[in-house]
Amino acid sequence: MRAQQLASGAKGVEDLKLVELPDPQPGPHQVKVRVRATSINYRDQAVAKGRYFGGALKQPQIPLSDGAGEVVAVGEGVTRFKIGDRAAGTFVQLWNDGAPPPFPQPALGAPPTVGTLAEYLVLHEDGFVHIPKSLSFEEAATLPCAGVTAWNALYGERQLKPGDTVLTLGTGGVSLLALQIARAGGARVIVTSSSDEKLERAKTLGAEIAINYASTPEWGQAVLDLTDGRGADFVVELGGTGTLGQSMTAVAQGGTIVLIGVLTGMDNAPSPHALMRKRATLRGLLVGNRGMFEDLNRAIDATGIKPVIDKVFPFEQAADAYRYQASAKLFGKVVITV
């Protein structure tokens, strides 16, 4: 099969090369999927630079966690899939439901687990889900990391209620899916961005309040001012320690900040005592389990959510797709067809 592969010791996307590899064959309880589309997450940039958990790659790696395609072969004993089914792999392999397994777990697209940026993907049948009937392969390819993370933030523990206010940071992949899931669940949405033009686009997706975090550095106070002092019931915290202080200002009494992102880094966190005064919760999250992915897919079919795809690149231009994903132009998801 053809695959895009990061070299051992890769320092960046210039070390991503198109290679020919043996076709993987499904063993007992395994499923083989012909991948049709993949998508890139912020995390994949770290894998390519050798800065993901575990550091530099010690052997060649097919990257990317997210992809969707059709089942072309099933191994002995497979019961959950048949040839022709449309499927996507789960980011955390074999975390089907319940509490998370100990960290780190095998996750697609980083050692020790294969990635999706190849013509074929073979995994245990428990590591796949059926994708929504209402989505194309390109749209479904945006879900395994960004979609499940956004769903878990709003439904994984404390459940979103109609009328809640959700604050989500930036206009990248997780943020826009959180916006769409929150709107589908009857919530009011506040979105931040460094770009007024992107904020206008976010409003067309249903964001009610849009705040430019570059021109309004005290955006946490702005959230309070624009909600009659109440704040956000959920903060989808994608910025990391550089934004956490403002998120603690923005969160409502009894609200939840879901700690997801590291866009501004992980060091020098502000004092958490503002949470005490607000009786608020800081909840850590690492993507989610298969049951959450299945719930998300059911909700997508029922509500008509269409993930926002910014740009689609052909397989041969995968490196350009990485560069675009890391650029300031990004709005939503970047997809690579296979």
Residues that bind ligand NAP (CB under 6 A): 41-43, 145-146, 149, 169-175, 192-195, 198, 213, 238-239, 242-243, 260-264, 285-287, 330
215 burial (CB, 10 Å; 0-12 / 13-18 / 19+) is: exposed
CB of 56 to ligand NAP, least distance (A): 18
Between CA 3 and CA 137 the distance in angstroms is 18
Between CA 328 and CA 294 the distance in angstroms is 32
DSSP codes of every residue in 1-16? -EEEEEPTT--SGGGE
CB of 24 to ligand NAP, least distance (A): 26
Q: Which residues contact 217 (CB under 8 A, 6 or more apart)?
A: none
* Between 137 and 213, CB nearer to ligand NAP: 213
Between CA 159 and CA 141 the distance in angstroms is 25
Between CA 37 and CA 314 the distance in angstroms is 9
User: Under the phi-then-psi rule, with left for phi > 0, alpha for psi from -120 to 50, and beta for the rest, what region is 287?
Assistant: left
* Between 142 and 297, CB nearer to ligand NAP: 142
CB of 240 to ligand NAP, least distance (A): 6
* Between 89 and 170, CB nearer to ligand NAP: 170
* Between 184 and 262, CB nearer to ligand NAP: 262
CB of 135 to ligand NAP, least distance (A): 18
Between CA 126 and CA 92 the distance in angstroms is 11
Between CA 5 and CA 16 the distance in angstroms is 5
Between CA 110 and CA 118 the distance in angstroms is 14
CB of 46 to ligand NAP, least distance (A): 7
CB of 66 to ligand NAP, least distance (A): 10
| Angle in degrees, 0-180, between the axes of helices 173-184 and 290-303, rounded to the nearest 10 | 60
CB of 262 to ligand NAP, least distance (A): 4
CB of 280 to ligand NAP, least distance (A): 19
* Between 79 and 215, CB nearer to ligand NAP: 215
C-alpha pair distances (Å), 259 with each of 23, 101, 293 = 39, 18, 19
Residue nearest to ligand NAP (CB): 172
Strand partners, 32: 73, 122
- The conformation of residue 28, written as its DSSP 8-state character, comes to T
304 burial (CB, 10 Å; 0-12 / 13-18 / 19+) is: exposed
* Between 76 and 267, CB nearer to ligand NAP: 267
CB of 87 to ligand NAP, least distance (A): 21
* Between 51 and 82, CB nearer to ligand NAP: 51
* Between 42 and 95, CB nearer to ligand NAP: 42
* Between 31 and 167, CB nearer to ligand NAP: 167
